[in-house]
Amino acid sequence: MNQKNNLVIGAIIAIVVVMSYDVGVDPIAFVEGLPNLGIVLKEMTEFESEHWGTAFWAMLETIEMAFIGTILGVVISLPISIFAARNISNKYVYGPLRALLAATRTFPSILWAILFVIVVGLGPFAGILAITLYTIGFISKLQYESIEAIDYDPVEATTAIGLSKIQLIRYVIIPESAPHLLSQILYMFDYNVRQTSILGIVGAGGIGFYIINYIKFFEYGKAAVFMLVVLVTVLAIDWASVKIRDRYIMKAQHGQQVKPMKN
């Protein structure tokens, strides 16, 4: 038993070493480069405070983009997920649809952003389209999986009452699969804010545009202002979604508010 485990661990280490050599991992370069990191970090602490305002507006634009993209994506995902669920839909519909959804998830949103910049030109609209598409790919998958996992008993009972398919979806499938939706949306929004923060790199709007440009011209002090704003915002959103989740989702699932145990 143990010997077998050791063998597996040894093999994994060997593979990592061989692969690192193959792609040119260079620990010496890392150590030699460390002082550079020090310089960057030092320059980053020299905030140029006149940029706070710009950073704030750029962040606001980023959040707006992420929000629009998330909402659009979710709205489009809902009908798609019903057509993609194996227990409701027909295999000639869900087969191709699932393949298409998988394709949208294959590439990170920044690649979609490049594509949409080509289609609709530079600016936030391209970014919103990229975020929307990525959200569709993700939320549809999460949703059709929760639809496939719903309790079969109410489906059977209501079929015996003689409900039509549309009625079944409206009164059984959607309410039974919805409790996870809010938490999925929160997670997606959180994720989309981070993604949108870098879309500016390819000219698709948002705060990333400033960060990449200041870094390109070695103006780390300016870049740092923008990065700090991203950091604080993402942490705040993270904190807020935990709060919302506790308040609404736990309550919805267990019929009461979760309170820490006192002893």
Binding site for other proteins (CB under 8 A): 151, 153-164, 166-167, 170-172, 175-176, 178-179, 252, 255
Q: How far is the CB of 259 from other proteins (least distance, A)?
A: 17
Burial (0-12, 13-18, 19+ Cβ within 10 Å), 49: exposed
Residue 159 or 257 having the CB closest to other proteins? 159
Q: How far is the CB of 196 from other proteins (least distance, A)?
A: 32
Distance CA 153, CA 160 (A): 11
Residue 6 or 159 having the CB closest to other proteins? 159
Distance CA 75, CA 127 (A): 18
CB 204 within 8 A of CB 122: yes
Distance CA 224, CA 46 (A): 8
For residue 151, report the phi and psi dihedrals to the nearest 5 degrees.
-60, 130
Q: Which amino acid is at 169?
A: I
Residue 53 or 175 having the CB closest to other proteins? 175
Residue 11 or 157 having the CB closest to other proteins? 157
Q: How far is the CB of 146 from other proteins (least distance, A)?
A: 12
Residue 20 or 167 having the CB closest to other proteins? 167
Q: How far is the CB of 65 from other proteins (least distance, A)?
A: 32
| DSSP 8-state assignment for residue 263 | -
Q: How far is the CB of 125 from other proteins (least distance, A)?
A: 33
Rounded to the nearest 5 percent, the helix, strand and coil shares of the chain are 85, 0, 15
